[in-house]
Structure 1
Amino acid sequence: MRRIIIICFCAQFCSLWSLRALADQAVLVENVNGYTLNADGDLVRFSSLLVEAGKVSALDPKSLPDSNLVRIDGKQRTMLPGLIDAHGHLMGLGKNLLQVDVRESASARDAARMVADYVFANSQQQWVTGRGWNQELWPDKAFPNASQLDEAEPSRPVWLRRVDGHAGWANTRALKIAGITKDTPDPQGGQILRDSDGNPTGVLIDNAMELVEQHLPTTTTEQYAAQLEAAGQHLLSVGITAMHDAGVERSLYDFYLAMAAEKKLPIRIYAMISATDPDLDKMLNLGRIRSLDDFINIRSVKAYGDGALGSRGAALLEPYSDAPEQHGLMLTQPDQFGPLFNHIIGSGFQLNFHAIGDKANHLALDQFAQTFAKLGGQALRNRIEHAQVITPDDLERFAELKILPSMQPTHATSDKNMAEARLGKARMKGAYAWQTLHQSGIAIPLGSDFPVELANPFYGLHAAVTRQDRNNQPVKGWYPEEALTLEQAFRGFTLDAAYAAHSEDTLGSLMPGKWADFILLDQDIFAIEAQDIWKTRVLQTWVAGQQVYSAQP
């Protein structure tokens, strides 16, 4: 009965939405250097694309409509399907584009200077918020402290999330508002960093961040709209036409539905409901939602296993090599795994579980196996988000259990400066193991985890193929045996990403019957040196047969 109610609800809900207004004319984009994938994942080349009613009608058509045909000269530019980022944070990106960005800071004091500059230009804001610091890139590699931010802004609260989103840096005013003192205990799954006297330093790890973030002003609809516009335009400019939003709370869930109903979503969104939201059950009871125009698709839940490697929050089976007293943090306690997995999968929703450390991955795989034995649910295409550090014995279990490892190639090239120190050389055998997982036969959806990493998917393609940063370091690649081929990486950002969202029927390639989401590039990524892939520039982006972005000359 529950499944019938869900299907009927979706049918009623979606019937209220008409397709986006599409041009009456058929469109022939000809004289292109086109690449796509067929249903088997094989690379297909073409020179012209016929679009009718927003969908691909034919590749290299042998016959054309008699009237209302618009012909566009592609000028031999390379055409690809619109790329799909399988793990990002849309409003996090929008917020990042509109607040202080300290990603390029050279030290804690440099980050504080950036805050001071931002404060000068934005004096009306109640809180000063930002993101992007990474102590591993600073000369001393030391965590920052509140006093450094106090020099930039002592009177208003300042809160800066670490680049990975798993730690935050507060000034003294923010700590006082949160009531954090020497006597404040560490919350379960979180840590308050302290000095030698036990006083809070200003850095909060994982669940401890909520002590401050619960005091942040509530985001208004107008702010959501500004963030959506900023993020959407940025993604379209780099060739992303669809993304999987990893962790959507109720207010954002409602906002997305409203924007979809008004046909105001700039890109296609596969939204993962946040497992920690108090309204989780209410959203589950609304059932799966997929709009007729495929701009919104909700049938999954994002849950949180552990923290991140850079802040030593990733949960490890053995201690950190560079901090023998630490094992990382479990954000969801192991005794909560069974009820959580059973509830989500039993509700017919895909479970996408954040796991970075080998302990979190191991426990998640164990629980998936137990839940499948009890309830079934393998067909939901459940995922482990990040799957970064895996004990070698667990690598083959992904394919055995049909768990999709949703991975982000630029994490490896960003983490290479600290990962081996955190893990030791022995544990690197199961870390960032893309090719090993690919060879096991499982689909690997790829993304960036923006705004943790930059959203440009060509950075991700480059990292996947070369295992190098954009300075071509290290020369032979970082653990190059785990690099993907370009075709494998291309599939990860297209067909495999669509499959991971149950949308390979309409997205992920430019085969007839699918939406005409495509991009035109300034170079052929399949013909250039791999080290130059990241330099690729998007000239045009089209969604449902309509041009939505054009690069400035």
Structure 2
Amino acid sequence: MMKIIRNAKIYTADTNQQMATAMVIKGGKILWIGQEENLPAYQGDIIDGQGKVIIPGIIDAHMHPIMLADVLEQVACLPPHIHSIEDMLVALEQYDASQRGWILGWGYDEGKLNERRAPLKEDLDRASMALPIIVMRTCGHIISVNSKALAIAGITKDTPDPQGGQIDRDENGDPTGVLRENARNLVLQHLPTLSEDEIVTRLLKLSQTLASYGVTSITELMATVMPIDYLTLYRKAREKGFKQRVATYYIWEAVQNYELLTADNLDRSAGAYIGGIKLFSDGSVSGRTALVSEPFLGGEERGIAMTSKEELLAAAAVAKEHGIQLVVHAMGDRAIDLIVDTFYEETAWLNDAPSVRIEHAAMPTVSALQKAAKWGIGFVPQPIFLFCEIESYLENLGLEKTQTLYGVQTFLQRGIATALSSDAPATSWAEAANPFVTMQAAVTRMAYDGTDLGAAERISVEEALQLYTADAKTMIRMENVGQLKEGYEANFIVLTDDILSISHDQLMHVKPFATYIEGECVFGQSTMQATH
């Protein structure tokens, strides 16, 4: 049965028809869309939109859903409940570790803690000496662990730093409990894994959370095979009712070691597919591991290099062979320059999207901007980082530099293919996956505490919406989503607020009234009653 929606204010994200007032849905796709006075005489359920605003479903071009589903079951070590290491220890002591035998927390940001530092092993030992403890920093690139966890991993004064990683040490050379980048894996590899069924159950719960934010298509930017294959997990979750379509990007090591790039896995019309290969060029700005040319304030750190030109070209050759993207995490200027300079003399292999994507692209140089625009490299920034991690950014870089980061307006003016995203859960905001928070950050360039993030890089609400829908669809190469147009999936959000007319500082408070995926209401109790 067809659904005929009338009396609505529809933003289509289709440049050929930007506004509509009526829409016809059949078989989960849009059969017709336009002005109500031109509505053909279709037969079906007529739904009164009651003048509400409808926008395309949000596409998150860079997130980590399996990690997000997991951490939502852990201790959230960030405001509004945690403001100090002491608060954190109280919460960790109360955590039920019976399922996995480890005490787990996530989301701490030393800039938001009264002590203004990361928790050390001595701190975490006060929560438990008997059970191992892992607390993940907001960026996801750094963890703090207690003595028990260090012992399980066999990390001692004599343990060397792994390639692309760092074990923080005190003045005597003993590990402090803070592990950066690849050093995390020394402990994380010992963490008992959830069963396949447990992960799928958590993903089903996450699907509803994402729908409540209006997110209808997603990506997985750190897919791997061991101990459980991510694509298998998403496919099983979809069989059981996970609603969002998923583009997965596998880490380079997994692609090297397993036969993943089969025709079936690369089918972009499927509900879950492989979109590309992922590498890391550096770490994070807030964690002081981004690869930068000028040292971070108050020290000599210049970040951690995590890849090379040779590795980038080797991964690109495989991506080109299979017609998929190469995506590279890079925040610091040196990390971005490495990627851009590596590919500037090479030839792009995709004609419908960027062959190479730079994830985050926090501080590109003028040269990198010029070369990226000319070559066709895509940028996927997250302005939410500045919005909620402002304390760390100011401490590490200062205000003047911070105001130039994640310069979306500059990217657009340069003609660089761009998409907004959340990187959830890797930022210090309880609702990191909420796209309206990122939109507000990009539009206002104001942090949550009122800090001016650089007005020159503001974009319009219309641009933010486009970067989260149609442009995100192009960035991840997902078919028939991101716009409300004939032949596309009927993925859309019903809002009670008109995001194009409300005060910009209220965008983060926008809540979907209802979310539809393939024409079916997956969130909200729609009062848009159908009549026959």
Query: Is TM (by shorter chain) over 0.5?
Result: yes
Contact 2:390 2:447 in 1 (8 A): no
- Once the two structures are TM-superposed, the CA of residue 130 in structure 1 deviates from its matched residue by 2.4
- The answer to whether the aligner puts 1:277 opposite 2:254 as a matched pair is yes
**Alignment partner, residue 25 of structure 2:** 51
- Specify whether residues 271 and 65 from structure 1 end up closer, same or farther in structure 2 by C-alpha distance, changes over 3 A only: farther
- The answer to whether the aligner puts 1:331 opposite 2:309 as a matched pair is no
Matched positions, count: 515
Q: Which amino acid aligns with 1:414?
A: C
Alignment of 1:328-367 (within 5 A): 328-367=303-342
Alignment of 1:470-481 (within 5 A): 470-471=448-449, 473-474=450-451, 477-481=452-456
- The answer to whether the aligner puts 1:434 opposite 2:412 as a matched pair is no
Secondary structure of 2:72's aligned partner: helix
* Rounded Cα–Cα distance in structure 2 between residues aligned with 1:544 and 1:124: 36
Identity percentage of aligned residues: 30
* Rounded Cα–Cα distance in structure 2 between residues aligned with 1:552 and 1:439: 40
- Specify whether residues 342 and 367 from structure 1 end up closer, same or farther in structure 2 by C-alpha distance, changes over 3 A only: farther
Contact 1:84 1:240 in 2 (8 A): yes
Secondary structure of 2:7's aligned partner: strand
Query: In terms of mean alpha carbon deviation, does 178-187 or 219-228 score higher?
Result: 219-228
Q: Which amino acid aligns with 1:271?
A: T
Query: In terms of mean alpha carbon deviation, does 270-279 or 187-196 score higher?
Result: 270-279
Gaps in structure 1 of 5+ consecutive residues = 1-24
**Alignment partner, residue 16 of structure 1:** none
**Alignment partner, residue 402 of structure 1:** 376
Secondary structure of 1:354's aligned partner: strand
- Once the two structures are TM-superposed, the CA of residue 349 in structure 1 deviates from its matched residue by 1.7
- The answer to whether the aligner puts 1:450 opposite 2:424 as a matched pair is yes
**Alignment partner, residue 544 of structure 1:** 518
**Alignment partner, residue 85 of structure 1:** 60
Alignment of 1:38-187 (within 5 A): 38-39=14-15, 44-59=18-33, 60=35, 62-64=38-40, 67=43, 69-104=44-79, 105-119=82-96, 122-187=97-162
- Alignment deviations for residues 26-76 of structure 1 (CA, whole Å, 9 cap, x no partner): 001222222122146x7x222221101111111235344654x11122222
Secondary structure of 2:253's aligned partner: coil
- Alignment deviations for residues 204-262 of structure 1 (CA, whole Å, 9 cap, x no partner): 000000000111113311121122112211100011001121111121122223444x3
- The answer to whether the aligner puts 1:207 opposite 2:207 as a matched pair is no
- Once the two structures are TM-superposed, the CA of residue 393 in structure 1 deviates from its matched residue by 2.5
**Alignment partner, residue 304 of structure 1:** 280
Secondary structure of 1:322's aligned partner: coil
* Rounded Cα–Cα distance in structure 2 between residues aligned with 1:246 and 1:549: 25
* Rounded Cα–Cα distance in structure 2 between residues aligned with 1:552 and 1:186: 55
- Alignment deviations for residues 3-36 of structure 1 (CA, whole Å, 9 cap, x no partner): xxxxxxxxxxxxxxxxxxxxxx100122222212
Secondary structure of 1:417's aligned partner: helix
* Rounded Cα–Cα distance in structure 1 between residues aligned with 2:163 and 2:215: 37
The one of 214, 230, 249 equivalent to 1:252 is 230
Contact 1:396 1:437 in 2 (8 A): no
**Alignment partner, residue 464 of structure 1:** 442
- The answer to whether the aligner puts 1:290 opposite 2:267 as a matched pair is yes
Secondary structure of 2:8's aligned partner: strand
* Rounded Cα–Cα distance in structure 1 between residues aligned with 2:388 and 2:366: 22
**Alignment partner, residue 392 of structure 2:** 418
**Alignment partner, residue 514 of structure 1:** 488
- The answer to whether the aligner puts 1:268 opposite 2:242 as a matched pair is no
* Rounded Cα–Cα distance in structure 1 between residues aligned with 2:516 and 2:221: 24
* Rounded Cα–Cα distance in structure 2 between residues aligned with 1:429 and 1:97: 31
**Alignment partner, residue 296 of structure 2:** 320
- Once the two structures are TM-superposed, the CA of residue 327 in structure 1 deviates from its matched residue by 1.0
- Once the two structures are TM-superposed, the CA of residue 520 in structure 1 deviates from its matched residue by 0.8
The one of 363, 377, 382 equivalent to 1:389 is 363
- Once the two structures are TM-superposed, the CA of residue 551 in structure 1 deviates from its matched residue by 5.7
Q: Which amino acid aligns with 1:458?
A: F
- Once the two structures are TM-superposed, the CA of residue 278 in structure 1 deviates from its matched residue by 6.2
Q: Which amino acid aligns with 1:117?
A: Q
* Rounded Cα–Cα distance in structure 2 between residues aligned with 1:167 and 1:286: 36
The one of 458, 461, 470 equivalent to 1:495 is 470
- Alignment deviations for residues 373-414 of structure 1 (CA, whole Å, 9 cap, x no partner): xx7456551210000111222222221110110111211212
Query: In terms of mean alpha carbon deviation, does 448-457 or 541-550 score higher?
Result: 448-457
* Rounded Cα–Cα distance in structure 1 between residues aligned with 2:484 and 2:145: 47
- Once the two structures are TM-superposed, the CA of residue 419 in structure 1 deviates from its matched residue by 2.3
- Once the two structures are TM-superposed, the CA of residue 318 in structure 1 deviates from its matched residue by 2.6
- Once the two structures are TM-superposed, the CA of residue 470 in structure 1 deviates from its matched residue by 3.9
Secondary structure of 2:220's aligned partner: strand
Contact 2:261 2:274 in 1 (8 A): no
* Rounded Cα–Cα distance in structure 1 between residues aligned with 2:351 and 2:328: 14
- Specify whether residues 401 and 430 from structure 1 end up closer, same or farther in structure 2 by C-alpha distance, changes over 3 A only: farther
* Rounded Cα–Cα distance in structure 1 between residues aligned with 2:365 and 2:416: 17
- Once the two structures are TM-superposed, the CA of residue 196 in structure 1 deviates from its matched residue by 1.4
* Rounded Cα–Cα distance in structure 2 between residues aligned with 1:334 and 1:502: 26
Contact 1:433 1:482 in 2 (8 A): yes
Contact 2:404 2:454 in 1 (8 A): no
- Once the two structures are TM-superposed, the CA of residue 299 in structure 1 deviates from its matched residue by 2.6
Secondary structure of 1:86's aligned partner: coil
Contact 2:252 2:277 in 1 (8 A): yes
* Rounded Cα–Cα distance in structure 1 between residues aligned with 2:314 and 2:370: 25
